[in-house]
């Protein structure tokens, strides 16, 4: 122990009374006891510090683990695209307008007794973080843009869209029970200079050109689609896209839509993938589809049997073909009609039986496509080359255009 730790030495002045031996021994004893006490206190202090350190490390470990676990729930993560975006875009995306205080969607559903109807494929999203994430997937929404939402239901996604402040929001909902909840949102949006138009219509019959006659503004199509119509609606929109009509008079109309997870994966499936099918090829002829993220079924009320994929479908600036949609659709449908067979088998069913094999062989040669590939092994370009040679064949033999190999034989002969 150093001198400073022992405390000041007592100086016995000249005037100090002399202590006898017993007193001196007693003082030494007291001094020794004090020193022992200081040592003991120091040990206790060191032990306390060690315990505090160990506790701190444990708390940090638990905290870190919790953060890590929460991150596992990928569906609730912040959309990871902003990392790739410019700072300006990220700023615009994160700056949403504040809506007046509103009851939660869950409360509204209870309040208005909005029981989900199975026949309209109603599965509601209650979590604001998820609805925000879907709308963020649509990318930048400019203040001049128009958004059309398919099937807003009680209005979860609608709120997220309104926070992005488009100039106009068109809501197409088949179920009139949602009128009041949607009107409530319209009233909230009005002071913020947003126009909300509510249509109780079937989206499959909705005339977009009538409701958006002008093409000056960019259009976004967003929706948590009812499963029952999602593929049909998408194919209808591809047809409009190919003809540059409806929502696709401009080539920057972007679709951000939900599908059953397996359908979402098929839409985006690349060559060689197990999920590659007719829908993959049809999608990739006119658009670039991107699977953004998966929402587990448990996030919906009521919970569907399946998970859901959010797909952003962007029209290609240069479509890969100028052929009519109906012709391409027919060729691709026939090619994929016999998925596990050589592709020439399905393609051959486009042609009447007389000379079918020889004509099929010649057309594959002309198209420079190997006829023993399976349909899912064909690239988009190869499918389109087959569509090209088929179109030329039909131009030379117009009767082939209406050949239907499924029609009863007698009917076919009359044709």
Ligand X SMILES: C[S@@+](CC[C@H](N)C(=O)[O-])C[C@H]1O[C@@H](n2cnc3c(N)ncnc32)[C@H](O)[C@@H]1O
Task: Considering only the stretches 17-25, 221-229, 243-251, 315-323, report the one whose residues sit in contact with ligand X under the rule CB under 6 A.
Answer: 221-229
Shortest distance in whole angstroms from residue 105 CB to ligand X: 7
Question: What is the residue whose two structure tokens read 């042609």?
Answer: 351
Whichever of 147 and 351 has its CB closer to ligand X, that residue is 147
Rounded-to-integer distance, Cα 385 and Cα 203, Å: 34
The answer to whether 132 contacts ligand X (rule: CB under 6 A) is no
Q: Which residue has the tokens 């000041």?
A: 8
153 lies in the site for ligand X, by CB under 6 A: yes
Minimum CB separation from ligand X for residue 206, in Å?
7
Pick the piece of the chain touching ligand X (CB under 6 A) from 82-90, 171-179, 259-267, 321-329.
171-179
In DSSP terms, which residues pair with 309 in a beta bridge?
259, 294
Q: Binding to ligand X by residue 173, rule CB under 6 A?
A: yes
Phi, psi at 293, each rounded to 5°: -165, 165
Q: Is 173 annotated as a binding residue?
A: yes
Q: Which stretch binds ligand X (CB under 6 A): 9-17, 149-157, 184-192, 399-407?
A: 149-157
Query: Among 152, 246, 289, 348, which residue sits at the site for ligand X (rule: CB under 6 A)?
Result: 152
Q: Name which position in 137, 165, 181, 224 contacts ligand X (CB under 6 A).
A: 224
Q: What is the DSSP letter of 306?
A: S
∠ Cα 394 396 399 (to 5°): 55
Q: Does 174 bind ligand X (CB under 6 A)?
A: yes
* Choices 121-129, 161-169, 310-318, 384-392 (CB under 6 A): range interacting with ligand X: 121-129
Burial 156-193 (b: 16+ CB within 10 A, else e): bbbbbbbbbbbebbbbbbbbebbeebbebbbebbeeee
User: CA geometry: angle at 175 spanning 171 and 181, to 5°?
Assistant: 60
Whats the size of the chain, residue-wise? 415
What is the nearest approach in angstroms of ligand X to the Cβ of residue 130? 9
179 binds ligand X (CB under 6 A): no
Q: What is the CA radius of gyration of the chain?
A: 36
Given phi > 0 = left and psi -120 to 50 = alpha, else beta, which region is 204?
A: alpha
Q: What share of the chain is helix, strand, coil (3-state, %, to 5)?
A: 55, 10, 35
Is 208 among the residues that bind ligand X (CB under 6 A)? no
Residue nearest to ligand X (CB): 151
Select from 52, 59, 62, 204 the one that contacts ligand X (CB under 6 A): 204
- 197: which strand partners? 170
Given 132, 147, 148, 151, the residue binding ligand X (CB under 6 A): 151
* Binder among 93, 108, 114, 124 for ligand X (CB under 6 A): 124
Q: Is 317 helix (H, G, I), strand (E, B) or coil?
A: coil
Does 388 bind ligand X (CB under 6 A)? Our answer is: no
Is 224 annotated among the ligand-binding residues? yes
DSSP conformation letters of 123-187: -EE--HHHHHHHHHHT----TT-EEEEE--TTSHHHHHHHTT--SEEEEE-S-GGGHHHHHHHHH
Check whether 185 is labelled as a binding-site residue.
Answer: no
Establish whether 368 is an annotated binding residue: no
Residue numbers of the site for ligand X (CB under 6 A)? 120-125, 150-153, 156-157, 172-175, 202-204, 224, 226, 229
Annotated binding site for S-adenosyl-L-methionine: 123, 125, 151, 173, 202, 224
């Amino acid at each position: 122990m150093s001198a400073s730790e022992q405390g000041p030495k007592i100086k016995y002045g000249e005037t100090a009374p002399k202590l006898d031996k017993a007193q001196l021994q007693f003082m030494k004893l007291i001094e020794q006891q004090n020193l022992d006490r200081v040592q003991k206190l120091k040990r206790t202090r060191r032990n306390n510090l060690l315990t505090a350190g160990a506790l701190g490390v444990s708390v940090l470990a638990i905290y870190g683990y919790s953060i890590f676990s929460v991150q596992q729930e990928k569906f609730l993560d912040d959309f990871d695209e902003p990392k790739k975006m410019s700072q300006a875009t990220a700023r615009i995306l994160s700056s949403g307008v504040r809506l007046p205080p509103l009851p939660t969607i869950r409360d509204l559903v209870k309040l208005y007794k909005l029981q989900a109807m199975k026949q309209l494929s109603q599965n509601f999203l209650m979590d604001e973080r998820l609805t925000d994430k879907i709308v963020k997937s649509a990318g930048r929404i400019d203040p001049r843009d128009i958004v059309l939402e398919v099937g807003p239901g009680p209005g979860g996604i609608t709120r997220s869209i309104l926070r992005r402040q488009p100039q106009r929001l068109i809501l197409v909902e088949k179920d009139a029970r949602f009128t009041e909840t949607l009107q409530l949102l319209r009233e909230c949006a009005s002071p913020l200079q947003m126009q909300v138009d509510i249509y109780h219509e079937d989206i499959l019959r909705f005339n977009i050109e009538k409701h958006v006659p002008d093409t000056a503004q960019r259009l976004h199509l967003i929706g948590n689609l009812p499963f029952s119509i999602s593929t049909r609606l998408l194919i209808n929109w591809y047809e409009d896209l190919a003809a540059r009509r409806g929502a696709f008079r401009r080539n920057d109309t972007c679709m951000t839509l939900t599908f059953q997870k397996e359908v979402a994966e098929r839409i985006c499936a690349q060559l060689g993938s197990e999920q590659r099918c007719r829908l993959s090829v049809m999608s990739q002829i006119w658009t670039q589809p991107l699977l953004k993220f998966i929402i587990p079924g448990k996030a919906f009320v009521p919970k569907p049997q399946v998970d859901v994929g959010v797909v952003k479908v962007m029209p290609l600036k240069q479509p890969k073909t100028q052929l009519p949609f109906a012709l391409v659709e027919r060729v691709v449908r026939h090619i994929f009609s016999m998925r596990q067979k050589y592709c020439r088998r399905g393609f051959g069913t486009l042609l009447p039986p007389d000379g079918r094999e020889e004509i099929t062989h010649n057309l594959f040669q002309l198209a420079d496509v190997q006829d023993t590939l399976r349909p899912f092994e064909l690239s988009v370009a190869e499918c389109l080359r087959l569509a090209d040679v088929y179109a030329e064949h039909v131009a030379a033999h117009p009767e082939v255009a209406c050949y239907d190999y499924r029609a009863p034989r007698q009917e076919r002969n009359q044709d």
